[in-house]
Amino acid sequence: MRNGWDDPQAAGDYLARRHSWADYIEGPAVRSVLPDLSGMRVLDLGTGGGEWALWCAESGAESVEAVDRSPAMLAHAPVHPRIRWIQADMQTVQYPDACFDCVVSGLAFHYVEDYPGLMMRIARWLKPGGCLVFTVEHPLKYANTQGTWLTDEDGNTLAWPIDCYLDTGPRVEERNGLTWTKWHRTIGGYVEGVLLSGLKLTALLEPGASEEGWRVQRAIAEGNRRRPNVLVVRADKPHPRMG
């Protein structure tokens, strides 16, 4: 089967669906923990269609390096004078030490097999005092062997069943001859990767929908209330101790 991110139709459909999360759940939470980006060098890993890269540039970042392995996703990226779009795999891309003030990533790290190794590299790329802000699909989403909500005989939603939460590893989705591999981790697994890299965890959020989200996307907001969709993490690189 072909990787789903290599299919232009699948990439476009995903980006259209993503706005319901980005605009009303993920976005407000991320903006609440990001620093003032004015004059910063920013790296966006797994940029997709470039929503976060564009937001960072428009929020005053001096420059943004936006990386994604999928040409089908990058085809949706906007032109901007301070954004450099790079087709590369974030699991293998390399940068010099201490070259970024901020690293961001939206709903991408759950596609990475060697998450601890990526955290180690990001910690090296950050300048002292810099920060990492990333989101992933909430681990409870993949602690469900059925992959669907439980319903009664009339189709009413009862609950999201949780099972095998501690069984970490690949979760493969197959649709229309395409495949996507995501790597399930516990919340503790995401935190451990941050701490082992030497970064300091400064925020861990499981956001609900914004007030506007409840008005315009009530079904999504209600589903997110019952089973959170997104985990938001911020980690800072400490300054070296003097003496």
Task: For residue range 172-191, list pLDDT tens digits in order.
Answer: 888 777 888 999 999 999 99
- pLDDT category, 22, cuts 50, 70, 90? confident
Contact (Cβ atoms closer than 8 angstroms) between residue 233 and residue 190: yes
- β partners of residue 134: 105, 233
Instruction: Give how far the C-alpha of residue 25 lies from the chain's centroid of Cα atoms, to the nearest Å.
Output: 12
Contact (Cβ atoms closer than 8 angstroms) between residue 86 and residue 66: yes
β-bridge pairing 169-175 and 200-205: unpaired
Contact (Cβ atoms closer than 8 angstroms) between residue 95 and residue 88: no
What is the pLDDT averaged over residues 56-67?
98
Return the pLDDT at 5.
Answer: 79
Return the pLDDT at 177.
Answer: 79
Return the pLDDT at 176.
Answer: 76
Return the pLDDT at 143.
Answer: 87
- pLDDT category, 82, cuts 50, 70, 90? very high
Return the pLDDT at 77.
Answer: 94
What is the pLDDT averaged over residues 53-78?
96
Return the pLDDT at 196.
Answer: 98
Q: What CATH number belongs to 2-139+184-236? A: 3.40.50.150
What is the pLDDT averaged over residues 209-229?
91
Which of 73, 77, 93 shows the shortest CA–CA distance to 85? 77
3-class state of residue 23 by DSSP? helix
Report whether pLDDT(205) > 80: yes
Return the pLDDT at 8.
Answer: 83
Give the E-state strand segments of the chain in sequence order. Answer: 2-3, 41-45, 63-68, 83-87, 100-106, 126-137, 150-151, 157-159, 169-175, 178-184, 200-205, 230-236
Top pLDDT among 133 and 4 is at 133
Return the pLDDT at 1.
Answer: 63
Report whether pLDDT(49) > 70: yes
Return the pLDDT at 18.
Answer: 75
Task: Give the span between the Cα atoms of 235 and 116, in whole angstroms.
Answer: 14
Helices (H) and strands (E) in the chain, counts: 8, 12
152-18-89 Cα angle (round to 5)? 120
Averaged pLDDT score across all residues of the chain: 93
pLDDT in tens, 143-176: 887 778 999 999 899 999 998 899 999 998 887 7
Return the pLDDT at 10.
Answer: 80
% pLDDT > 90, the chain? 75
If one counts every other C-beta atom within 10 angstroms of the C-beta of residue 36, the result is 8
Return the pLDDT at 242.
Answer: 58
DSSP 8-state secondary structure symbol assigned to residue 240: P
Report whether pLDDT(215) > 60: yes
Return the pLDDT at 11.
Answer: 80
Q: Structural domain boundaries of the chain?
A: 2-139+184-236
